[in-house]
């Protein structure tokens, strides 16, 4: 922990100009962490990693006391597909990404668990756990996170029970955790606006709060339980500013890194970070 208690917050950044450029962009908007796609989010191609650029970023993160950064897998991956080729592609991508992550050791890698596409939830859960058991390595320093989903279509991970079931089937248990997306859980039917304590108690009972490693902080364009997954700017959606103040200050969440994935460019993100930092209360000692 840092001496000076502060909100750890950043946003999703483009990796188009390289790794160090993302660190600089984060600094320029008052962030102390960020998220990025390991490769084109819709495709498969990943630029070869530039080890010097990755090392320069890594030094910059340490010098500026950044919180853990978060890589996001392409969201088109589906390790729960009924098609063996689609599953094989997901496995190969995750394995390759995890190798790349070792250029910036000790960070986190988030992925959408997948969609069972009609095979049934239990089969989906089994295939996702299998994908992790085939790609996680005892020697890796990266923590892999399953993202909470909105429960759109046949998505796996819209219920805490589904995430818990995946985690229970993963052999290298200390390599995996959960990233809670506020828009997704709200759209999934968890009332973080009126009963944040209750939702987090439920998460603790079913998954365990020790598994929670990161928060995607997004407002939602749709009402609770809509299963839609459309992000909105902080304070402009159905979750609202007051709920976000409670979320960032909640004892179970306040020390975690928060990542904005709101529809913004850098100036909009800078403003959201500034506003959320204003809402962060120092803990009374
Ligand atoms: Fe995501
Ligand atoms: Fe997210
Ligand atoms: Zn989303």
Strands 143-147 vs 176-181: parallel, antiparallel or unpaired = parallel
Taking the centre of ligand 1 as the mean of its atom positions, its distance from the CA of residue 267, in whole angstroms, is 22
Dihedral angle sign, alpha carbons of residues 207, 209, 210, 214: positive
Query: What was the pLDDT predicted at 4?
Result: 57
Instruction: Give the angle 109-111-240 at the CA atoms, nearest 5°.
Output: 100
C-alpha–C-alpha distance, residues 258 and 9, integer Å: 5
Taking the centre of ligand 1 as the mean of its atom positions, its distance from the CA of residue 3, in whole angstroms, is 31
Taking the centre of ligand 3 as the mean of its atom positions, its distance from the CA of residue 230, in whole angstroms, is 6
Give catalytic residue positions.
42, 72, 75, 112, 147, 181, 184, 216, 229, 231, 261
Which residue has 């589906």 as its token pair?
78
What ligand is nearest to the CA atom of residue 72?
1
Taking the centre of ligand 1 as the mean of its atom positions, its distance from the CA of residue 119, in whole angstroms, is 23
Taking the centre of ligand 3 as the mean of its atom positions, its distance from the CA of residue 258, in whole angstroms, is 14
Taking the centre of ligand 3 as the mean of its atom positions, its distance from the CA of residue 3, in whole angstroms, is 33
Taking the centre of ligand 3 as the mean of its atom positions, its distance from the CA of residue 154, in whole angstroms, is 15
Query: What was the pLDDT predicted at 282?
Result: 81
C-alpha–C-alpha distance, residues 250 and 242, integer Å: 12
Contact 150, 158 (CB under 8 A): yes
**What is the CATH code of the structural domain delimited by 12-279?**
3.20.20.150
Which residue has 């975690």 as its token pair?
256
Per-residue confidence of the chain (285 residues) as pLDDT tens digits? Answer: 444 589 999 999 999 999 999 999 999 999 999 999 998 777 667 788 899 999 999 999 999 999 999 999 999 999 999 999 999 999 999 999 999 999 999 999 999 999 999 999 999 999 999 999 999 999 999 999 999 999 999 999 999 999 999 999 999 999 999 999 999 999 999 999 999 999 999 999 999 999 999 999 999 999 999 999 999 999 999 999 999 999 999 999 999 999 999 999 999 999 999 999 999 988 765
Query: What was the pLDDT predicted at 1?
Result: 44
C-alpha–C-alpha distance, residues 208 and 179, integer Å: 12
Q: Could you say which DSSP state residue 176 is in?
A: E
What ligand is nearest to the CA atom of residue 259?
2
Taking the centre of ligand 1 as the mean of its atom positions, its distance from the CA of residue 184, in whole angstroms, is 9
Query: What was the pLDDT predicted at 43?
Result: 65
For ligand 1, an ion, list residues with CB under 5 A.
147
């Amino acid at each position: 922990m840092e001496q000076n208690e502060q909100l750890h917050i950043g946003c999703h950044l483009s990796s188009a100009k390289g790794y160090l450029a993302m660190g600089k962009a984060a600094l320029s908007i008052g962030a102390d962490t960020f998220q990025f796609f390991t490769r084109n989010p819709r495709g498969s191609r990943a630029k070869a990693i530039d080890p010097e650029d990755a090392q320069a970023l890594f030094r910059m993160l340490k010098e500026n006391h950044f919180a853990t950064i978060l890589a996001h897998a392409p969201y088109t991956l589906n390790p729960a597909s009924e098609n063996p080729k689609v599953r094989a592609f997901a496995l190969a991508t995750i394995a390759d990404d995890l190798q790349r992550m070792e250029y910036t050791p000790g960070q986190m890698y988030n992925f959408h668990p997948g969609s069972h596409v009609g095979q049934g939830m239990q089969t989906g859960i089994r295939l996702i756990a299998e994908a992790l058991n085939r790609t996680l390595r005892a020697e890796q320093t990266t923590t892999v996170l399953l993202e909470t989903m909105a429960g759109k279509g046949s998505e796996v991970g819209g219920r805490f029970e589904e995430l818990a079931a995946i985690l229970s089937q993963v052999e290298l248990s200390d390599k995996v955790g959960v990233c809670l997306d506020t828009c997704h859980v709200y759209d999934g039917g968890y009332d973080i606006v009126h009963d944040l304590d209750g939702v987090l108690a439920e998460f603790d009972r079913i998954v365990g709060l020790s598994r929670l490693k990161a928060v995607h902080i997004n407002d939602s364009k749709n009402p609770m339980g809509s299963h839609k997954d459309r992000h909105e700017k902080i304070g402009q959606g159905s979750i609202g500013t007051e709920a976000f103040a409670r979320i960032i200050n909640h004892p179970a969440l306040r020390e975690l890194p928060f990542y904005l994935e709101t529809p913004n460019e850098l100036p909009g993100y800078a403003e959201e970070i500034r506003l959320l930092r204003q809402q962060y209360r120092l803990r009374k000692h």
